[in-house]
Structure 1
Amino acid sequence: MVMRTVNDLYLGTVKLGVAEYGFSSRQENILEPVDFLNAAGELGMKYFDTAPRYGNSEEILGQFIQQTKITPQIATKVEGLQPNDQNSPKKIEESVRNSLQRLKIKHLEICYLHQSDLNIISDPSIQAGLRQVKKLGLCRQIGVSVYDEPECRYAVESGMFDVVQLPVNVFDSSLYHQFVQPEKKGIRFIARSLLLQGLVGNRDQITTKIAESEPILNYIEQLDTLANQHNYSTVDMALMFVFNLERINQFIIGTTNIENLKHDISCLGKAFPKSLFEQLSNLSKSKKSWADPRVWTK
């Protein structure tokens, strides 16, 4: 069992600014956004993941930061970039400075590229822009958020990025098994989509929202069977599985409900049978096209 603490968690804030994001099986938005962030801070949360794309989430975080006693560590993203654009460094710096202004902070913990296309993350001007904002002290680390094997391979092998954010869950952990290796020292790996945008805990919208729903429902049935055999809820089992992936440095969890957050934090310290972990690892380590939210549109 891997020992985890609340410091291993980033709170994903997309739903603060984009309420309809993903699948929400549990009641959300009981508290006002800033009140929710204050309550999260009282639980020990100090890492927050955001982006300009996430509605007004940066502004909401800025309001929270102005009044909190903790020192939040913020990761945000830059986007709207084009390959072979000599103005990319200027655009990246402007984007980061605008985010810092909205967030009411002087520097970011991580500045990610929000575009994962290989011709973006390998572009010399874009890379120069990322190095520039780091050199200027506008961010401590530079990173990339990836989806697929080619860009993940490049991100890991290029030596360019301090942080690689990737989807890892009980449905598909293929990128973890292929690229998150002990010899990749110096790179921090942060996992997102732990519950596949809430899919694990919300079945009623799968057939209406997802075109290729049958393999997802069949897979969830397998997960339910395993969870029942070990007296876990399927959601808890899914979280505990990813929390026990020892080569992941931190995890992004997304919720706007403080009770859900408390529950998710509690899963950090629960015992998890090695045999069950190995079963789920074998189930999830193969690539599954239907586990990519970008292909869900019906």
Structure 2
Amino acid sequence: MLGLGTAALGRPQYINIRKDKNSHSDLASFKQESFKVLEEAYQLGVRYFDTAPGYGLAEDLLLEWLQTKQDPSLQIATKWGYTYVANFDAKAKVHEVKEHSIAKLKEQWQVSKAFLPHLKIYQIHSATLETGVLNNAEVLQQLAFLKKEHGLHIGITTTGSNQLEVLKKAIDVSVEGEPLFDGFQITYNILDQSLESIANTLEKQNKKIIIKEAVANGRIFRNSNYSHYTALYDPLETLAAKYQVGVDAIALKFCQQNIKNSLVLSGASTVAQLKQNLQATKITLSEEEINLLKSFKTDPNYYWQERKELTWN
């Protein structure tokens, strides 16, 4: 199953190595293109949409688009904890600010609750050990209240080389004797495969696994600045040619097949990218091909250090 992440639909810049020229000269045309992507995704069968206040206009755009639909099968996931501050300035030094306080939770919930009844999972955006959010009793109790009051799943998203440490701590978080977290949105791809060591545990506990950054912020595409991935580029392109799809579809399918019962997010910013991504639903990789791609995993510390050096494009 594939869903659509809206980070690239709500703001013109995102962390990526692919410098596609932005043809939208104004905010109105940018919004129009984003609405086209949402509608095309729906027409092609996507029913899971992931958003966040930290994604610029994404929540507002998705809410506006949602008003055009009367479809109870639509599922919305959103988050709290990040505020978008770049004001659509490509040269901004800071694009988003993290704050895992009870005040920020209550503030952002006032907007996000408008997604009800389509809102199915409410997540802490990039939960880390450093912010102490998994030990913040006031925050955890408020999330437990929202879970019970609105029948929500409560989740976290993770970022960084210590994803597993954060996941293991979150699994054990309970409020009044009941486990709090039902869903985990995790970075997983051909390069960072660390999720595999805990995926079975999550599945046995009936936790929802959502995979983000399946194309490794563009690093799976051939790029002369990343010659150390040349050994990966060749088989990826060979597989893409074999199945007559793009490299992106191969990468998405790898995640989907390797982490059973997961939901993989497309991060498409255009209709063309979306259609290419969704080709993943039409192919099946062999066990030999999966194992070949698994052989290209990197050390998580290296992966995340390299990601820190990527720019907003």
Q: Normalising TM by the smaller chain, what interval?
A: 0.7 to 0.9
Asked if 1 retains the 8 angstrom alpha-carbon contact of 2:186 and 2:211, the reply is yes
CA gap of 1:53–1:265, structure 2 versus 1, over 3 A, is same
2:122 corresponds to which letter in structure 1? C
* Aligned counterpart, 2:42: 41
% identical aligned pairs? 23
Task: Pick from 192, 195, 198 the counterpart of residue 179 of structure 1.
Answer: 198
Asked if 2 retains the 8 angstrom alpha-carbon contact of 1:121 and 1:144, the reply is no
1:268 corresponds to which letter in structure 2? T
State the Cα RMSD in Å: 2.7
* Aligned counterpart, 1:19: 12
SS at match of 2:54: coil
Task: Pick from 235, 238, 260 the counterpart of residue 226 of structure 1.
Answer: 235
- List gaps (5 residues or longer) in structure 1: 1-7, 208-215
1:87-106 correspondence to structure 2 within 5 Å: 88=102, 91-101=104-114, 103=115, 105-106=116-117
* Aligned counterpart, 1:110: 121
* Aligned counterpart, 2:152: 140
CA gap of 1:228–1:35, structure 2 versus 1, over 3 A, is closer
CA gap of 1:149–1:217, structure 2 versus 1, over 3 A, is farther
SS at match of 1:272: coil
Residue 152 (structure 1) aligned with residue 171 (structure 2): no
Cα distance, 1:280 vs structure 2: 1.9
Asked if 2 retains the 8 angstrom alpha-carbon contact of 1:47 and 1:74, the reply is yes
Cα distance, 1:167 vs structure 2: 0.3
SS at match of 1:190: strand
Cα distance, 1:292 vs structure 2: 5.4
CA gap of 1:297–1:260, structure 2 versus 1, over 3 A, is closer
- Structure 1 window deviating more from structure 2 (277-286 vs 13-22): it is 277-286
1:1-298 correspondence to structure 2 within 5 Å: 8-23=1-16, 24=18, 32-71=33-72, 72-79=74-81, 88=102, 91-101=104-114, 103=115, 105-106=116-117, 108-118=119-129, 119-137=132-150, 140-147=152-159, 148-158=163-173, 159-174=179-194, 176-182=195-201, 184-201=204-221, 203=223, 207=225, 216-219=226-229, 221-230=230-239, 231-232=241-242, 233-284=246-297, 286-291=299-304, 295-297=308-310
- List gaps (5 residues or longer) in structure 2: 25-29, 83-97, 174-178
Asked if 1 retains the 8 angstrom alpha-carbon contact of 2:7 and 2:55, the reply is yes
